[in-house]
Structure formats: structure tokens, C-alpha cells
Chain A
Amino acid sequence: MKPAEIQIALKEELHRIAPDIEVTEIDPAADLREEFDIDSIDFLTLVTALGKRFDLAMPEADYAHMGTFNDLLTYLVGSLHK
């Protein structure tokens, strides 16, 4: 899967949880939960949905690498190209 496709998929999953937030209006290098106004339950839902979509284990120990939109994208691209 190409990084651009992964990015689209990530945007789609975020849109399902926070449809009120335009991805174009957020700062991709800032705190993801703050930018998308999502709480820890939403975050868990997001990680579960992404894990299911990409058939990827996204363990809690890796949460530190999912702090921003860019971090999360890099994490997904890296994990899917291992």
C-alpha cells in the first residue's frame, strides 16, 4: 500500500470519529487528540478501526508514536512496510 493511500485511509477513519473536523484545518504536527477534539475512548476506537482496516497489531506500548497526525501516519507507513 502506498503512503498516499494510507493517508487517505487514515483521514477516512478520523472522519468517522470526528466528522466535524476538517483535516485540512488541523496542524498535522500538533497533538492529535487536541486537534481532532477526541477523548481517550475515541482514540481507542480509532486505533481499533485502523488495526482492523490494515490487519495490524497496534499495541498500547506504541501509543507514544501516535501523538500527532504525522506521527501516526509515519507509524502506519512504517508498520505496513516492515
Chain B
Amino acid sequence: MDKNKIIKSENIRRSANLPDYETALATFSWSAAHDVLDFMPGGALNIAHEAIDKHLILGQGEKIALRWIAKTGERTEFTYEELAHLTNKFANVLQAQGIKKGDRVYSLLGRKPELFIAALGTLKAGCVFCPLFSAFGPEPIKARMEIGGANALITSASLYRRKVKGIRAELPSLRNVFLIDGEAEGTNLLTDLMDTASDEFSTVPMKPEDMALLHFTSGTTGRPKGVVHVHEAVVAHHVTGRFALDLRPTDTYWCTADPGWVTGTSYGIIAPLVIGVTMIVDEADFDPARWYSILETEGVNVWYTAPTAIRMLMKAGRDMPTGHEFPHLRFMASVGEPLNPEAVVWGNEVFGQPFHDNWWQTETGGIMIANYASMDVKPGSMGKPLPGITAGILNVTPTDVQELTEPLAIGELALRPGWPSMMRAYLHEEARYNKCFRGGWYLSGDLAMRDSDGYYWFVGRSDDVIKSAGHLIGPFEVESALLEHPAVAEVAVVGLPDETAGEIVKAYVALKPGYQAKDGLRLDLLGHARKRLGPAVAPKEIVFRKNLPKTRSGKIMRRLLKARELGLPEGDISTLESDEQ
């Protein structure tokens, strides 16, 4: 397990934001982390104040906050002052349209400057920001807007036409739709409203426990869960950005996460701006040659990316980075799913430094376990808990938990609640929220182990949730969409290992009488699923079965399908009543 351990030099250790892990563990306190923020008069707090307005007060308004690279390669820069004015305008637009404090403002956008302006302008106005992934289809979008009670949406004309227009009538709470680049009935063109809005606005003072962000995640069963985060979370965004990403105000920073997921908000918007870095945002989709060129020409110092992207870069070959030099690159981190040891070692060979894997979830709001700049890296390990975070490995029974303290014992990864960016609720789902806590621990749903040096290692999921390209997909959501097809009698969806994406979604379908298991129908089902769910959630593979394995109570045994597919032991099949055919 310690094979290939990557040892950090004394120089690198000393210059890190967190030079000595053990010392930080002993001296860290959340109240001290709280006190370094600026705050508004009277102890009020607003994430947008910390991310933007504070820098103007400190005389840093001229600094570049955001350098946006369009698909064409054209670059547009926004200073902190320009971002302040644009977010003020957006907050004024919201107020003028009757959007009030506490209302829910959603975004459905790719990496566009408007996304950043909307996110921070929404927070300034005291509204709740909820980003959606633009690769969702209409069904996931509708479910997330219904659950969160969306009041306003900012999107593009094309996304609106393809994904929202058809479900608009079913979303009565959605009063305003702002389009960034076109017109449609029942929408407003944002540029028109922004042009006439004032660029002055007094950021709404919020209480630390006021809701700021709503992010959706998936469980095995039921609808998506709306994870509630509050303004106080910024305390954790700030400190984890400094410790786990080694971010400094002088840095040029590139976070490649899609803005529709929690990483895109916590570490793609909030943490870097609060720290005061210059962010690089690339509109284009993944393209290895383009990525090497951005890393080099933009002089990226800190790079936060994901295993799927790293494995695609590896696949593109060692010749591609040849000729590029990365003298400015100081720290590389990865999140989304466990980074395989080969990828960590590959990074060390190509960039002269390893990727630093870290672990967290939508629910934790910020990085919880990480590999630090000052700490030796054991490739394949997620690292050690952040200062201020207590992690444990638990044996979980239906009524109780016991902490497993012996090295390499496998159990559920759990955290002691109480850090600032911990979720405050699953919206309207108190019972589901309460189920996450037992015996004074937050249960992550991930299985892990801890070695004798205190490094944590991911083992697997304790449930049937699928992790594809770093994103959680609930099998139930996919199965429900497929069941709407007239040919489908029953369906089970599982995640199968994939060398690039970690896991891919595969669906097993049993047809109703009268339907033939033919390729044409398979494509029809795939099209049906993609139309409803979008490419990020729809299955990549569909196969037909005459019957799916079920328990006596009629529950389809996804685990059994997966075990058989992978040639693994079938485990306990005593409840199996009706087998796969």
C-alpha cells in the first residue's frame, strides 16, 4: 500500500499553506477560521460579500477575478470591480422582477460568465442559488425545480427550447425565466434588463444560518435530494480552499468542474473568489490538446480536476504534453471519485508532481479528507481529514454504530457533525435527513478503511448509487424514466466499472408481451431515456432479459445482476424468488 509513496521535499512542505499537518490539527479551531472573514456590519454574513465586495473594500478591485475563454479561444477578463457591478445589476434585476429574499433562483447554463454573475448576484439579493447541470434532460430538471420550488431560472435560448419549454406549464412556482442569448415567449432577455439596471446595490445582510445554496444529489431510491447549505458555509469554503487546494491570493486557478455540480460552486466560484485568486474558466468541452495549452499559456498555478478527465489525458498519450512546459503549476488536485494510483503516478511523471486526491460530498459542502501539499502522497489514498474534521470508520447496524479503530478495517466512512458547510437539511425530507445520522455521526454511504499512518482509502459504496464521471446517479430515477416506455415491463439499472468514467450506467430491461428484443427497440429505448434524462443520466448500455432476478417481495436484485456481470460471488441469495432469464 505504501508502494510508490511520493515524498515531498522540505522546500515544498515549508512553503505550503498548511506546512505541518500535525501542528494544524492541534491548533485549528472553527471559531478562529470564522474570525478571518470580513463580515458585514452587525455580524451579518453574505457569501457574495466575502467573494466580491470585500476585495473592493480592501482596494483590490482592479485585480482580475475571472478570465473566461470562449469556445473560439477568445478571452474576456472581469476584474473584481466589474464583477461587483455586474452582480449588483443582476441583484437589481431580480428585485425589479419581484424576486424576493429567500426565493429560489436556478441556473441551467454551461460555463458562461453569466453563470458566475447570476450565482453571486442571487446571493447578494438574499436569494437561494441552485445550479442545474446542462446535460440533464427535462425529467431531472423538472424534478429538481419542483422539489426546490424554483421561482426564477437563468438559462440559454437553446437549453430553454430543448429542455424547459415543454415542462414549463408543470412548474407553477416558476415566475421568471431569463435568457442570456435569445428570446422566447414567456421569458426575458437578460441583457435588456441588465443594461437598464443600476450597478449599485447594497448586498442583503444575512444571518449565518440563512439558506444560501441548494444542490441536488441522488440516493438509491426515491426522488433527488435537495441539499440545503447556509451562508455560514463560506467559513469552510475559505479554509478548505487554503488547506486542501493550497490556494493563495496571487494564484491563477483552474477548476474544471461543471458549474451544475457542487464542486463547480464550492470550489469553482466561492472558495477561489473569497481567497481572491484569478480564476480561469474554459467554455469548451474536454479536449486534451486544448487543456495542455491552457495550463501552459494561462500560467495556471493550481489546478482542480477530476479522475475521468485525468484518465482521458492519460489515454491521449505521453507525446501530447511534450513541448509544453508548466513552470507555474504548483498544485494539482482531483475529486469526484477515487483517483487510481496509476493516474497519481502518471501526474508525477508528466507534471513533476502528483495529483492530490480529496474526498467530500454534496452533503459536506466542502472538502473533508485530502492530500495536502506538505504531506507525502500514497497513490490511491484520499488522504487525511481536514483540521477541524473528525472522521471515523464505523460498523453500522440498523440501530447502532461501533467505531472500528484497528488499521485497515473496512466500514462506513463517517464524520462528526458540526463543521460550517455541513448540510442543514434535505429539503422537505426530514426523515431521509435524519437517517444520515446515527450515534452522533454523519454516515456518508461510502465504505472505506484507514491505514496505520492515518491515511483513508475508498473501498466502495454501501448502496446502489452509481458514480459516473464523478457524478452520483440514482438508479431509481433512470428506472422510472425507462418504465414510462410502453414496451418496458421491468427494469434494473446498475453501475458497471469503466476505465475512463469510473462507472457507466447499464440498464437491464424485460419487455412486455408482444415486444421483440431487437436492436431497433434498444435504440428506441435509448432515445427515450436520453430525451427524458439527458446524456449525463441516461444509460450508456441497454440489454434485454426475459426476466429480472427478484426477491419474494418483488424487489429487483440489482446487486445480483452486477455480481453476475462482473463474475463476482453472488453473495446471499436466500431471498431470491424469481431468477434472471
A41 contact set on B, CB distance < 8 A: 308, 468-469, 498, 500-501, 504, 540
**How extensive is the interface on chain A, given as a class?**
20 to 34
B555 contacts A by Cβ under 8 Å: no
**Nearest CB of A to B16, in Å:** 32
| Bound CA–CA A39/B312 (angstroms) | 13
B536 contact set on A, CB distance < 8 A: 39
| Residue from the set A34, A37, A38, A42 with the largest chain B CB neighbour count within 10 Å | A37
Q: How many residues of B contact A (CB 8 A)?
A: 33
B468 contact set on A, CB distance < 8 A: 41
A54 contacts B by Cβ under 8 Å: no
Supply 27 A–B pairs (Cβ within 8 Å), ascending by A.
Answer: A15-B523, A16-B523, A18-B527, A19-B523, A19-B530, A20-B526, A20-B528, A20-B530, A33-B285, A39-B469, A39-B536, A40-B285, A40-B312, A41-B468, A41-B469, A41-B498, A41-B500, A41-B501, A41-B540, A42-B535, A59-B317, A60-B312, A60-B317, A60-B320, A61-B288, A61-B289, A63-B289
Whether A63 contacts B288 by the Cβ 8 Å rule is yes
A43 contact set on B, CB distance < 8 A: 285
A interface residues (Cβ-Cβ under 8 A, vs B)? 15-16, 18-20, 31, 33-34, 37-45, 59-61, 63-64
7 pairs of A and B residues whose beta carbons are closest in the complex = A60-B316, A20-B527, A19-B527, A19-B523, A39-B535, A20-B531, A40-B286
B469 contact set on A, CB distance < 8 A: 39-41
| Bound CA–CA A31/B531 (angstroms) | 19
Over the window 311-333 of chain B, the binary record of Cβ atoms lying under 8 Å from chain A Cβ atoms (1 yes, 0 no) is 01001110010000000000000
A64 contact set on B, CB distance < 8 A: 287, 289-290
| Bound CA–CA A64/B287 (angstroms) | 7
Whether B285 contacts A45 by the Cβ 8 Å rule is no
Closest chain A residue to B287, Cβ basis: A63
Whether A60 contacts B315 by the Cβ 8 Å rule is yes
| Bound CA–CA A59/B290 (angstroms) | 14
| Bound CA–CA A64/B71 (angstroms) | 11
B interface residues (Cβ-Cβ under 8 A, vs A)? 71, 135, 158, 162, 285-290, 308, 312, 315-317, 320, 468-469, 498, 500-501, 504, 523-524, 526-528, 530-531, 534-536, 540
Name the contact of A59 in the complex, choosing from B135, B158, B287, B316 (C-beta under 8 A): B316
| Bound CA–CA A44/B501 (angstroms) | 11
Given contacts A42-B535, A44-B500, are A37 and B289 in contact (CB under 8 A)?
no
A34 contact set on B, CB distance < 8 A: 158
Whether B530 contacts A18 by the Cβ 8 Å rule is yes
Closest chain B residue to A15, Cβ basis: B523
| Bound CA–CA A12/B248 (angstroms) | 50
| Bound CA–CA A20/B531 (angstroms) | 6
**Nearest CB of B to A41, in Å:** 5
| Bound CA–CA A34/B534 (angstroms) | 12
| Bound CA–CA A34/B156 (angstroms) | 12
B500 contact set on A, CB distance < 8 A: 41, 44
| Bound CA–CA A16/B524 (angstroms) | 10
Q: Apart from A20-B531, A37-B534, A60-B312, what 14 extra A-B contacts exist at CB < 8 Å?
A: A15-B523, A20-B528, A37-B135, A37-B162, A38-B535, A40-B312, A41-B504, A41-B540, A44-B312, A59-B316, A60-B288, A60-B317, A63-B287, A64-B287
Given contacts A41-B540, A44-B312, are A19 and B289 in contact (CB under 8 A)?
no
Given contacts A20-B528, A34-B158, A39-B469, are A61 and B320 in contact (CB under 8 A)?
yes
